[in-house]
Structure 1
Amino acid sequence: MWLFVLAAFCILFSHVVPETFTVSTSEGLVSVRLGRVANIPCWLTPSQNAEGLEVRWYRPNFFDSPVLLYLERQIQESSQLPQYAGRTSLGLREAKSEGLKEGDVTLKLVNVTLKDQGPYICYVSSDQSYESATVSLTVNVLGSPPLLSAVRTENGSVNVSCMSHGWQPRPRLKWSDGTRTLQPGSTRFGGGAQDLESIHSWLLTNSTSSPWVSCSLSLPEGDEWEGRVDLQNLPEVQANSSGSLLTAVIILILLLVIAAVVIGVLYRKRDLPEEGTKTENTQLLSSTENMEGSLKTEDLEAMRQAGVDVSLDHQTAPACLTVSANGKTVRDRNNYVFAPGEQCYILGKPGFIPGRCAYWEVGLGDDKVGIKESWWVGVACGSFSRQEEVKPCNGFWFLSLDRENGLRLNMTPDIKLPALPRPQTLGVYLDYDKGELSFISVEDMRRIVTVATVFTGEVFPLFNPGIGDRAPMRILDVVTQNECLNVPDMIEDPKSTTPTMNTFPPDSKHPNNETSKTNHSTVP
């Protein structure tokens, strides 16, 4: 009997909270990328069970409308601030934490938005006392890819300009010619929409020292954009040109401002360029209110309503590729000796014309043989020429992966995408009339990027399996419904923060079904 009473007494007092405790938080700021999950740490000292306490997270001046309220051993939602509904819970300060049992009262906040940044107050109360502490959350935003422009000056040097917008905090800037870091002539920051940072930098360089110059912009945690500009094919300045370097710089800045306005107008109108011209431009159209690239299940299912039975066209296969009899699998040929710069891409079928939407999926490896490390997936115009560079101005739009550079878009210059896990299954969604081409990482329900353009003529699926991977590239079976209905708008959604690239179409050409080799490959 006495043993029973003693045991009950010990159990009772093991859950009693000491009369005094302190609330501790991280020193400095808690930083998180837009759209990600934030764990804002808070804990009791000395460590003790907090299951029977009141835990209240709130913003300054909103004690009665908390971000999260834990009371009477459960989360209370009736008085919660509406903008936090469904996004908060008690998290863990570290992976090995036991949560409330050891006094860990960390706030977990998902789908972080810009409006979430600022101070948070961690308030813990018992019958005997209460304590609180304040911690601040900062939200980092990856801005637009750099827009580069180059102009040759009278003295033979080259003025290169780099512009970008939509950053938080200010990005780190690095100019490089591939062998050394270059010092900019000037760098200016300015405010923009939602108080995000814009940047404009320029430098003078000599085109004989390097064939290209790159401008890299990065956030503190490492995510970055990089753009390159070719210095070898710039028009020469006429001998009778007048004006100083200052004039050239002013003109360059004015041209960039005008270009930004024109790009915006062209994006809205999506007019075709004049016949006989060859133009290409890029612009990142990203807002900053939602989880980066995330897709709802119903959105992916809506895309799959446009499912098409895609297969490889054997007639377009070069000698460096091995294609299965059913046209569903392709890989590089064993022991094949590549010519310098030779590319190994193949078209798929059917082709797509105005009025069509299409969705197909590409398998890029599995857990047994590993995930592929190099590939191209996209579309190409039926009027393309294998003698031309694989750029949008020549009828090519694709996403690529290689071992050195990660994910890239074949823009001019190439656009390097932020570091993301390599996709195992890549979904491709094409809306011909809207001029949209989207790439989706199916496993993690993430839209990687959307290209906005104007297609002309018939376009076909494009595949390049890369070199040296154990895994082949496979076209997966999808339900063929071929309906262009209820598909989420990829471009106009103001809550999407996935990169959206704007390009302009190639001029029309006669079909050319040659299988001759080209000499401009990064992934053969």
Structure 2
Amino acid sequence: MSRFVRDLTHDMPPCVIEKASSRMNTVMRLCILAALCASLSTATTEMFTFSVPKDPVSVRLGHVATMPCSLTPSMNAEGLEVRWYRPKHFDNPVLLYRERQIQEALQQAQYVGRASLGLREVTSDGLKGGDVTLKLVNVTLRDQGEYVCYVSSDQGYESASVFLNVTVVGTPPLLSAVRRDADSVNVSCVSHGWKPRPSLQWSDGRQTLKPERLDYSSGAQGLVSAHSWILSSPSSAPWVSCSLVLSEGEEWEGRVDLRNLAAVPETSSGLQTAVIILALLLVLFVVFIGVLYKKRGRESTPVPKGDIVDMETMRQAEDIVDIETMRQAGVNVTLDPNTAPPYLTVSPNGKFVRDSLDHVCPPGELPYILGTHGFTSGRSAYWEVGLSNDNVGVKESWWVGLASGSDTRQVPAIPSNGFWFLSSDKEKGLRLNMIPNILLPANPRPQTLGVYLDYDEGVLSFINVKDKKYIVTVRAIFTGEVFPLFNPGKGDEAPMTLLDVNRYKTPTVKVSTSEGESVVSPPAETVALLASNPNPNHHGH
């Protein structure tokens, strides 16, 4: 280089050489400075990058979501700023960690108390190891979407995105069967509230069945409903099942028994038409009489002939039952020993029943007992039944529901004869007393069963009190007085107990003063003590 400069300036005057040398030194300094800046810039951007999942993170509605994000190479992030935000909401983040603590002042209201820094894996060192994973509890449908992981220091910043998918397991499938001819049954399956769309499959226990039709429809918040039906034959399979699946562990199955369907008589087409017309006229007559009785206030009529007209799980899977509100309609249900057959043993206080050890119920008998008071139009009611014991576990065999006041023990226990109840079978789980029976998932079986009746609306709901979720709701037409029905099953060691729902209500006490008696509420501490130590011999009113 220096030789090149000497050759270039050999014939130049000294003043020109001096100016050229000065300019060249300036250029060299600028080049060196530019190279240094580029080096610093490269060092800054290569300080750390992010490691995030390429695929979306999926989480069940109401569960905990973990959105992994960590610095690479691993470094201590305790002194850095960590910001998780939704697109276009940088200044209103999901979570902001700065100055070594969570800053809640700028946090979006819907994430307060739900968002925190979690761990990418159990062995993670957290912030010390560069793990800036976001943990989100009680996930809702609104939480689905993109989340940006942003980390900055005095020397630069990096960001990356993680997508969250929220899945919803819908309602248990409800099956119904209608016989078309002597050896053909039309079976339908309906379920609501899934996300994303589930796969639906029919089976008879031996092979997968091809449906005649399968339809999906979308409703509120993108939740999917499924409806399908098939033609089956009781002679080829005793039952069929309908299964809906999102992924492993996220599925429902319902079964329907085809063997108990009433046979279709072999008649001529003209006779069939006459029978159908006669049946329609009979139905219209019964409906007319029912409406006429209701208008005349014949509420004490002891012959309810209401059939189940619809069955549904009335709430979506994510809904939680407001037990406390239902308990405001709580009634004190006691057992009427006058309605108990000799095959049942009833406690003196009318709160406990089980099968008798001395009298075995013969086949064909219905060993149920009714409550002392019935229900008619103009009111709603709620009561709870205990179905577990610490010593013997959860009760497996029982009936709980409603029945008419008439003595109908010699007829089938179906809605048209004045029976509406949920039952538990040791082998097949829960079922509704329809023809055919509708099987329901029972995992786990309820330890405490809540029963809610709205007589005028024709609604009878069964609730798993521990989980605060509906098991199933029956829609029926009630006429006349109906009574709580209980059957403790046979050979089941666990008891059936009628719980005092009124113990949850705030009690009042009378205080005598110089001015007379006044009613006041006890202190909160007293209420809590009463709730934790209920008197089993006390009956609310």
Query: What SS does the aligned partner of 1:430 have?
Result: strand
How far the C-alpha of 1:311 sits from its partner, in A, is 1.4
Deviation string for 1:121-152 (max 9, x for gaps)?
33334444434342332322314633434352
- Kept in 2, the 8 Å contact 1:150–1:229? The answer is no
Match of 2:166 among 107, 126, 138: 138
Query: How has the CA–CA distance of structure 1 residues 135 and 351 changed in structure 2, closer, same or farther, with 3 Å as cutoff?
Result: same
- Kept in 2, the 8 Å contact 1:351–1:458? The answer is yes
The one-letter amino acid paired with 2:217 is: G
Identity value in percent = 56
- Kept in 1, the 8 Å contact 2:311–2:474? The answer is no
TM-score (norm 2): 0.66
How far the C-alpha of 1:351 sits from its partner, in A, is 1.6
Match of 1:359 among 379, 382, 388: 382
Q: Is 1:57 paired with 2:84?
A: yes
- Identify the structure with bigger relative contact order (alpha carbons < 8 Å, sequence gap 6+): 1
Query: How has the CA–CA distance of structure 1 residues 44 and 464 changed in structure 2, closer, same or farther, with 3 Å as cutoff?
Result: farther
Partner of 1:477: 500
How far the C-alpha of 1:346 sits from its partner, in A, is 1.8
Deviation string for 1:279-333 (max 9, x for gaps)?
4232436565xx73424xxx43333333322211112223332222222111233
Query: How has the CA–CA distance of structure 1 residues 240 and 189 changed in structure 2, closer, same or farther, with 3 Å as cutoff?
Result: same
The gaps in structure 1 that reach 5 residues or longer are 1-18, 242-270, 484-524
Q: Is 1:116 paired with 2:143?
A: yes
How far the C-alpha of 1:90 sits from its partner, in A, is 3.9
| Aligned pairs, number | 430
The one-letter amino acid paired with 1:282 is: D
Query: What SS does the aligned partner of 2:382 have?
Result: strand
Partner of 1:38: 65
- Kept in 2, the 8 Å contact 1:355–1:433? The answer is yes
Partner of 1:332: 355
Query: How has the CA–CA distance of structure 1 residues 200 and 366 changed in structure 2, closer, same or farther, with 3 Å as cutoff?
Result: closer
CA distance in 2, matches of 1:134, 1:108: 12
- Kept in 2, the 8 Å contact 1:217–1:226? The answer is no
Greater gyration radius: 2
Partner of 2:411: 388
Q: How does 1:246-261 map to 2 (within 5 A)?
A: none
Partner of 1:282: 310
The one-letter amino acid paired with 1:470 is: E
Q: Is 1:218 paired with 2:241?
A: no
Q: Is 1:193 paired with 2:193?
A: no
Match of 2:97 among 70, 88, 107: 70
Q: How does 1:277-316 map to 2 (within 5 A)?
A: 279-284=307-312, 286=314, 288=316, 292-295=318-321, 299-316=322-339
Partner of 1:228: 256
The one-letter amino acid paired with 1:324 is: S
- Kept in 2, the 8 Å contact 1:225–1:415? The answer is no
Query: How has the CA–CA distance of structure 1 residues 91 and 396 changed in structure 2, closer, same or farther, with 3 Å as cutoff?
Result: farther
Query: What SS does the aligned partner of 2:325 have?
Result: helix
How far the C-alpha of 1:189 sits from its partner, in A, is 3.4
Q: Is 1:429 paired with 2:449?
A: no
How far the C-alpha of 1:158 sits from its partner, in A, is 4.1
- Kept in 1, the 8 Å contact 2:459–2:476? The answer is yes
How far the C-alpha of 1:456 sits from its partner, in A, is 1.9
Query: How has the CA–CA distance of structure 1 residues 222 and 403 changed in structure 2, closer, same or farther, with 3 Å as cutoff?
Result: farther
CA distance in 1, matches of 2:395, 2:495: 8
How far the C-alpha of 1:224 sits from its partner, in A, is 0.6
The gaps in structure 2 that reach 5 residues or longer are 1-45, 271-288, 294-303, 507-541
- Kept in 2, the 8 Å contact 1:311–1:348? The answer is yes
Deviation string for 1:48-86 (max 9, x for gaps)?
654444333333343333333333344444444455455
The one-letter amino acid paired with 1:359 is: Y
Q: Is 1:459 paired with 2:482?
A: yes
CA distance in 1, matches of 2:126, 2:430: 38
Deviation string for 1:169-211 (max 9, x for gaps)?
333333233x422421544333321444343434343332234
Query: How has the CA–CA distance of structure 1 residues 158 and 45 changed in structure 2, closer, same or farther, with 3 Å as cutoff?
Result: same
The one-letter amino acid paired with 1:375 is: W
Q: Is 1:152 paired with 2:180?
A: yes
Partner of 1:398: 421
How far the C-alpha of 1:398 sits from its partner, in A, is 2.8
Q: Which has the higher helix share?
A: 2
Query: How has the CA–CA distance of structure 1 residues 376 and 92 changed in structure 2, closer, same or farther, with 3 Å as cutoff?
Result: farther
Deviation string for 1:22-67 (max 9, x for gaps)?
5444563433333444344444556665444433333334333333
CA distance in 1, matches of 2:340, 2:103: 62
The one-letter amino acid paired with 1:306 is: A
- Kept in 1, the 8 Å contact 2:399–2:422? The answer is yes
Query: How has the CA–CA distance of structure 1 residues 361 and 28 changed in structure 2, closer, same or farther, with 3 Å as cutoff?
Result: same
How far the C-alpha of 1:20 sits from its partner, in A, is 4.3
- Kept in 1, the 8 Å contact 2:411–2:417? The answer is yes
TM-score (norm 1): 0.68
CA distance in 1, matches of 2:75, 2:364: 65
RMSD of aligned alpha carbons = 3.9
